[in-house]
C-alpha cells in the first residue's frame, strides 16, 4: 500500500505531549465511564477507512449523549490542548475523520433524536447523529421528506459538516440550502446558535453557512434545524440510453436550461452501466445512460416527462424506459446508490478511490469525455457517474495498490482531473469536501487571499488549532 502524502506540518512536533493525552483521557473516563473507549479496533474504525489515505486513528473515542456532554468533552480537551475530531458515520471520502495529530474522536452516534417536527413550517430539529434514512422513516407518516441523498446513510451532522449534496441536489439544493440553523459547540466550549427558525434572515454574518462545509474545523454541530418538503403527489422516472456521453450531457444542459424542474438526473458511463448490471443483476442497455426522476403533481410530472422525452429524442437518445412502479424505481435507485460497490466489484483486490469534481454545465461533456480518454490512455479502470444536472461527476478509480506503476499513473490522473476541472472554471470537489485529500488543490482553485482568509477565520475561532486539525486549510 502506497499512501498518498498528506500535507501537514511536522506531525510529531504538533502532536500533544503523551501526558496531556493521558490526562485528558483520564478526565474523560472519570466523567463518561464506558462511553470512552481506547480499543484499537474502535479507534481505527473512527479514522479514514474509505480511501487510500492512511488510517490515522484517534487516541480515544467518546460517545456523548447530549450537547452538554459535547461541551464537557471539548472543555476537557481544550484544557489539555488535545485535538478533537467530530465523527458521524465515517462515510466521508477525503480523510475528514482522520486524527493526524491523535486526540479524541467525538462520535455523535447516540445523539440520534428527532427533537421536533414543525409540519406547518416544513422544518424539523434533529440531533447530529440522526441519519437521513432514519429521519425519512420518522417523517413518512406526516407526508414529509428530507430530500438530500448522498447515497450513504450518512448522519445529518456530518452531512452539514461536509456540505453534502447528492442525487437530488439539482432540485432541492445542498446542505447549505436546506439548513436553517445550527447549534454548535465552539473550541472554547461555548454553545452557539447560528440562527433562529425563520425561513430567512439578514441578521449579521451567515454563521450557519460558515459552519456548513467547515468539516468540524470551526465547531462541532450538536443540533440542526432542517427544511423539509411534502412528499410529492406523483413521482415518475426511468432510464434513457444515449449514443455518447456528449449527447447525454447536451440533453441535460437543455433540460436544465428550459427549466424542467427535474428532481434527479444522473449520468452513468458505459463501464458504470456494465458494473451495475453485473452487481445488481439488471439488464440495462450498456451505453451511456441518464437516470431521471420527476416530482410534482400528476399533471406536472406527465408534462415534465413528455418534454424531457422530446429533448432526449432531439439528442439521439432513447427510448426512454419508464419505471412506473415504485418498486422498480426503488430497485433502480438502489442500483445507482450501489454504484460504488458495483464499481469495486469490477476489479477485485483493488482499492476504490472515489473523487469528484464539478464544472459549469456547458463544459461537462468536454470534461467527462476528456477524462474518459485520459483513463483509457493511462490504462486505468475508472467508471464515471455524475449528478450532471449540477455539472458534478465522480470517478471511481480502481487501483491495484501493489502495482507501483499503476499507483503512479492513478495519482497523475487525479491531478489532471482536478487541473482540467479548474481550467474549466470548476471546483476540485463538488460535494466530497477537502479533508486531507484535496488540501493541495485549494490554493490553485481559490488563490492565496482566500486561503489566507480561511486560515484567519480558523485562527480566530480555534486559536489553538484543536478542532479537526490538519483538514481544509493549513494553520496561519
Closest approach of Cβ 274 to its own copies, in Å? 28
Cα 37 to Cα 17, 26, 379, 444, 464, distances in angstroms = 20, 11, 44, 40, 25
Window 247 to 306, contacts with its own copies (CB under 8 A):
253, 256-259, 261, 297, 299-300, 303
Closest approach of Cβ 308 to its own copies, in Å? 13
413 binding its own copies? (CB under 8 A): no
Residue of 349, 346, 351, 388 lying closest to 367 (CA atoms): 388
- Is the CB of 270 or the CB of 427 nearer to its own copies? 427
User: Of these, 25, 432, 467, 474, which contacts its own copies (CB under 8 A)?
Assistant: 432
| C-alpha–C-alpha distance, residues 22 and 60, integer Å | 10
370 binding its own copies? (CB under 8 A): no
- Is the CB of 398 or the CB of 473 nearer to its own copies? 473
Please choose, out of 20-28, 103-111, 161-169, 329-337, the segment that lies near its own copies by the rule CB under 8 A: 161-169
- Is the CB of 83 or the CB of 437 nearer to its own copies? 437
- Is the CB of 60 or the CB of 85 nearer to its own copies? 85
- CB count within 10 Å of CB 96 equals 30
Window 189 to 228, contacts with its own copies (CB under 8 A):
190-207, 209-210, 212-214, 218
* Residue 141, all three cell numbers: 407518516
- Is the CB of 16 or the CB of 437 nearer to its own copies? 437
Instruction: Classify residue 2 by burial, with Cβ atoms within 10 Å: 0-12, 13-18, 19+.
Output: middle
Coil, strand or helix at 43: helix
Closest approach of Cβ 332 to its own copies, in Å? 24
Residue of 113, 83, 106, 116 lying closest to 8 (CA atoms): 83
| C-alpha–C-alpha distance, residues 100 and 95, integer Å | 10
246 binding its own copies? (CB under 8 A): no
Closest approach of Cβ 7 to its own copies, in Å? 14
Closest approach of Cβ 363 to its own copies, in Å? 8
427 binding its own copies? (CB under 8 A): yes
CB 412 within 8 A of CB 378: yes
Please choose, out of 64-72, 105-113, 375-383, 439-447, the segment that lies near its own copies by the rule CB under 8 A: 439-447
| C-alpha–C-alpha distance, residues 103 and 38, integer Å | 11
Task: Convert residues 111-130 into a mask of x (bound to its own copies by CB under 8 A) and - (unbound).
Answer: -------xxxxxx-------
In sequence order, what are the residues at sequence separation of 6 or more whose Cβ sits closer than 8 angstroms to the Cβ of residue 233?
A: 296, 297, 298
Alpha-carbon torsion 275, 276, 279, 285, what sign?
negative
Closest approach of Cβ 270 to its own copies, in Å? 25
Window 7 to 66, contacts with its own copies (CB under 8 A):
none
Q: How many residues bind its own copies (CB under 8 A)?
A: 93
Closest approach of Cβ 310 to its own copies, in Å? 13
Residue of 52, 120, 144, 101 lying closest to 354 (CA atoms): 52
| C-alpha–C-alpha distance, residues 115 and 159, integer Å | 18
Amino acid at each position: 500500500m502506497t499512501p498518498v502524502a498528506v500535507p501537514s506540518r511536522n506531525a510529531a512536533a504538533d502532536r500533544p505531549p503523551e501526558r496531556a493525552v493521558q490526562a485528558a483521557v483520564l478526565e474523560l473516563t472519570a466523567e463518561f465511564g464506558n462511553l470512552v473507549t481506547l480499543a484499537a479496533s474502535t479507534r481505527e474504525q473512527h479514522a479514514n477507512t474509505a480511501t487510500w489515505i492512511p488510517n490515522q486513528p484517534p487516541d480515544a473515542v467518546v460517545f456523548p449523549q447530549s450537547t452538554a456532554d459535547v461541551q464537557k468533552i471539548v472543555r476537557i480537551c481544550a484544557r489539555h490542548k488535545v485535538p478533537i475530531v467530530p465523527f458521524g458515520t465515517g462515510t466521508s471520502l477525503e480523510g475528514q475523520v482522520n486524527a493526524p495529530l491523535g486526540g479524541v474522536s467525538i462520535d455523535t452516534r447516540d445523539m440520534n433524536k428527532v427533537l421536533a417536527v414543525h409540519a406547518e413550517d416544513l422544518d424539523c430539529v434533529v440531533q447530529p447523529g440522526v441519519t437521513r434514512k432514519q429521519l425519512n422513516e420518522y417523517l413518512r407518516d406526516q407526508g414529509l421528506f428530507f430530500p438530500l441523498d448522498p447515497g450513504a446513510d450518512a448522519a445529518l451532522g456530518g452531512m452539514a459538516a461536509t456540505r453534502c449534496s447528492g442525487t437530488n441536489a439539482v432540485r432541492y439544493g445542498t446542505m447549505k440550502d436546506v439548513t436553517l440553523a445550527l447549534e454548535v459547540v465552539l473550541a472554547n466550549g461555548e454553545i452557539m446558535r447560528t440562527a433562529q427558525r425563520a425561513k430567512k434572515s439578514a441578521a449579521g454574518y451567515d454563521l450557519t453557512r460558515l459552519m456548513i462545509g467547515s468539516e468540524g474545523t470551526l465547531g462541532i454541530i450538536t443540533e440542526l434545524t432542517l427544511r423539509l418538503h411534502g412528499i410529492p403527489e406523483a413521482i415518475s422516472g426511468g432510464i434513457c440510453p444515449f449514443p455518447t456521453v456528449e449527447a447525454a450531457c447536451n440533453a441535460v444542459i437543455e433540460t436544465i436550461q428550459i427549466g424542467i424542474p427535474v428532481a434527479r438526473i444522473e449520468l452513468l458511463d458505459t463501464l458504470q452501466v456494465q458494473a451495475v448490471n453485473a452487481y445488481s443483476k439488471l439488464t440495462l442497455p450498456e451505453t451511456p445512460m441518464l437516470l431521471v426522476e420527476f416530482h410534482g403533481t400528476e399533471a406536472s410530472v406527465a408534462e415534465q416527462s413528455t418534454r424531457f422525452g422530446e429533448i432526449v429524442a432531439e439528442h439521439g437518445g432513447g427510448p426512454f424506459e419508464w419505471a412506473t412502479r415504485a418498486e422498480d424505481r426503488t430497485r433502480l435507485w438502489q442500483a445507482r446508490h450501489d454504484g460504488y460497490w458495483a464499481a469495486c466489484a469490477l476489479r477485485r483486490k483493488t482499492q476504490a478511490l472515489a473523487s469528484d469534481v464539478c464544472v459549469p454545465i456547458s463544459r461537462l461533456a468536454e470534461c467527462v469525455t476528456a477524462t474518459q480518454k485520459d483513463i483509457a490512455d493511462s490504462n486505468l479502470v475508472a467508471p464515471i457517474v455524475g449528478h450532471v444536472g449540477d455539472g458534478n461527476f465522480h470517478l471511481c478509480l480502481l487501483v491495484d495498490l501493489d502495482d507501483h506503476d499503476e499507483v503512479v499513473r492513478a495519482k497523475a490522473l487525479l491531478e489532471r482531473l482536478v487541473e482540467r476541472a479548474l481550467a474549466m472554471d470548476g471546483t476540485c470537489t463538488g460535494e466530497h469536501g477537502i479533508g486531507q485529500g484535496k488540501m493541495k488543490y485549494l490554493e490553485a482553485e481559490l488563490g492565496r487571499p482566500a486561503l489566507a482568509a480561511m486560515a484567519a477565520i480558523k485562527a480566530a475561532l480555534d486559536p489553538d488549532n484543536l478542532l479537526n486539525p490538519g483538514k481544509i486549510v493549513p494553520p496561519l
